[in-house]
A and B are shown apart, each in its own frame.
Chain A
Amino acid sequence: MKKEFKVIAQIIQNNKRVLDVGCGDGTLMEYLKKNQKNDVRGLEPKKDLVQQCISKGLSVIEGNAEKELIQFPEKSFDYVVLSQTLQAFIYPKEVLNQLLRIGKQTIVSIPNFGYWKVRLHLLFKGTMPVTTNLPNEWYNTPNLHMCTIQDFVNFCNNKNIKIDKSMCLTNEKISEITNKNMKYKNIFSQLGIFLIE
């Protein structure tokens, strides 16, 4: 399991209800169910991945978060997880509002567009950045709304979203983001992981 999921799993307490939005093949869900006795549900738009999940005994619903989140009652999950997908929605703000409505807490991870390799790529090559975390070209990327760690934190502050935890990931190394190291982390982190409510 990738490091990002390990970090997310550590944030989630045992025996809690979790909704994994864009759960993919259910790797994180399976881990949470087996190791932390979490009651997990998933939402995934790709049929083949949904079928894989159901085959594993994971309760996953086929559907797009932009349309399907409305059906879940308020605070019906202890945690809602959204891993590296926020930037791919047409209306990320609305999706985020739904996540915050459904979950008592929400875990969001974002690929950091402020990462130094991304900055240098644009600066020196003058073309849209392609990195390990952002492997697509400009014309086929699913990412419509890229942001930096700083952008996301600013957004939360503006919208009165409480950030309970902010972590960042660089080359499999995890560390905490604080007010002091924010500028630094915004340059040297590949991924930001936030626990918000």
Chain B
Amino acid sequence: MNSNTKNIKKLIIDQSLQLDCGKKIEGFSLAYETYGNLNKKKNNAILVFHALTGDQFAANINPITKKDGWWTFAVGPGRAIDTNKYFVICANVLGGCMGSFGPTEINPDTNKMYGTTFPVITIKDIVKAQKFLLDHLGIKKLLAVAGGSMGGMQVLQFVSLYPNMAHSAIPIACSASHSAQNIALNELGRQAIMADPNWKRDDATPDKGLAVARMAAHITYLSKQGLQEKFGRKLQDKGSLKFSFDADFQIESYLRYQGSAFVDRFDANSYLYITRAMDYFDLEKQFNGNLSCAFENTKSKFCVISFSSDWLYPTSENKEIVIALNACGANVGFVEINSDKGHDSFLLNLPEFLKTLGEFISSTYNEVNNEKRI
């Protein structure tokens, strides 16, 4: 990883945060970005949560990677989350590597990076850290909290922790408790990193291991049909098989590229910590096996969205959330969007998805403003 994160927006949080692991942190930084303007009533703020490998740069061009932000299809002027209308906040998660307190930070006691001495963090810790940011910005109630994948988990944790802080909640392509399959896939990635001889060394980074982790994970973000249609058995810049282990097939070359591009912008230890946080996420267990209790006091209006070809966070797992919400009488809508793009669908330009997302938020915005008038 060779990102320079010095010039990005950061909030230094003076208060202490008690982590789930038992440790306490204070004076820690949270890097964030905002888009659009907060209105006078302060009722147009939307907190967007990023997924495993995302960061605070949801929209526009990411100033560090110089590439499009991870949710540019959804966030921006005239987009579903319209920055002409709403004030969008996105923070780099605790444990991340884009300026927030994470394993790449220098430990003042040792003058070395925290690395694997960084405390294990949870989705709850990640969400609590972002609450400090909202307090700092003076936002008492959000118009919406939204996010896909791990971002969706944060949505669920947020409404559970702060039942009266968001008018609406949009958990997308996620689950209320990480499945065995997903833990297994995360473990595969972690083991790839840990198997790299450069892991835990001061003078090198486990780039190979991280790249393999990314390659494996990337496959899980797509669908069989999507892969087949895009790549099939097409060969990479060659007319015939080379009888070697070079990247003969386009899909191999594509994955190798995904892996190598990823190590430039991501830290291997952050990857370990954040995947761990996802694995530990079990909202049902937080409420003694009854997921409904997590939403018992919620005032938020929910819109749960899943994608038909997502096998990482399948519709059935998203529906568990809907069922729990219905069981406690919460206000919930649910739709499965048809897509052959797999889990990654939530990051892509899918008109049906973006229309539903945008119009749901816009209808909430109208309701909130009409309420105020009465």
CB-contacts of B305-344 with A (<8 A): 322-323, 326-327, 329, 331-338
Chain B residue at minimal CB-CB distance from A72: B326
Q: A61-B322, A71-B323, A72-B326 are in contact. Are A53 and B333 (CB under 8 A)?
A: yes
Are A54's CB and B366's CB within 8 A? no
CA distance A71 to B323 in the complex (A): 6
Are B327's CB and A54's CB within 8 A? no
Hey, which chain A residues are within 8 Å of B327, CB to CB? 71-73
CA distance A41 to B334 in the complex (A): 11
Q: Does B7 contact A (CB under 8 A)?
A: no
CA distance A39 to B332 in the complex (A): 12
A-contact bits for B354-366, CB 8 A (1 contact / 0 none): 0110011001101
Of the candidates B333, B337, B356, B366, the one whose C-beta lies within 8 Å of that of A59 is B333
Q: A47-B338, A51-B356 are in contact. Are A59 and B332 (CB under 8 A)?
A: yes
Hey, which chain A residues are within 8 Å of B333, CB to CB? 50, 53-54, 58-61
Q: A54-B303, A55-B359 are in contact. Are A62 and B367 (CB under 8 A)?
A: no
CA distance A93 to B303 in the complex (A): 31
CA distance A51 to B352 in the complex (A): 8
Q: Chain B interface: which size bin? A: 20 to 34
CA distance A89 to B338 in the complex (A): 24
Q: Does A126 contact B (CB under 8 A)?
A: no
Q: Does B265 contact A (CB under 8 A)?
A: no
Are B363's CB and A73's CB within 8 A? no
Are A57's CB and B355's CB within 8 A? no
Q: Does B85 contact A (CB under 8 A)?
A: no
Q: Smallest Cβ distance from A62 to chain B, in angstroms?
A: 5
Q: Does B79 contact A (CB under 8 A)?
A: no
Q: Smallest Cβ distance from B171 to chain A, in angstroms?
A: 14
Hey, which chain B residues are within 8 Å of A62, CB to CB? 334-336
CA distance A62 to B327 in the complex (A): 16
Are B355's CB and A51's CB within 8 A? yes
Q: Does A56 contact B (CB under 8 A)?
A: yes
CA distance A63 to B318 in the complex (A): 13
Q: Does A76 contact B (CB under 8 A)?
A: yes
Q: Smallest Cβ distance from A28 to chain B, in angstroms?
A: 16
Chain A residue at minimal CB-CB distance from B361: A57
CA distance A51 to B333 in the complex (A): 10
Are A57's CB and B329's CB within 8 A? no
B-contact bits for A65-92, CB 8 A (1 contact / 0 none): 0000001110010000000000000000
Hey, which chain A residues are within 8 Å of B356, CB to CB? 51, 54-55
Are B326's CB and A61's CB within 8 A? yes
CA distance A50 to B304 in the complex (A): 12
Are A47's CB and B367's CB within 8 A? no
CA distance A80 to B304 in the complex (A): 22
Hey, which chain B residues are within 8 Å of A71, CB to CB? 322-323, 326-327
Q: Does B301 contact A (CB under 8 A)?
A: yes
Q: Smallest Cβ distance from B361 to chain A, in angstroms?
A: 10
Which B residues are within 8 Å of any A CB, using their own CB? 301-303, 322-323, 326-327, 329, 331-338, 352, 355-356, 359-360, 363-364, 366-367
Beyond A59-B333, A73-B327, 6 additional contacts (C-beta under 8 Å) are A50-B335, A51-B356, A55-B360, A57-B366, A63-B334, A73-B329
Q: Which 6 A-B pairs have the closest CB atoms?
A: A57-B363, A55-B359, A59-B333, A61-B334, A71-B323, A50-B335
Interface pairs (17), CB distance under 8 Å: A41-B331, A41-B332, A51-B356, A53-B333, A54-B303, A54-B356, A55-B356, A56-B363, A57-B364, A59-B301, A59-B302, A60-B334, A60-B335, A61-B326, A61-B333, A62-B335, A72-B327
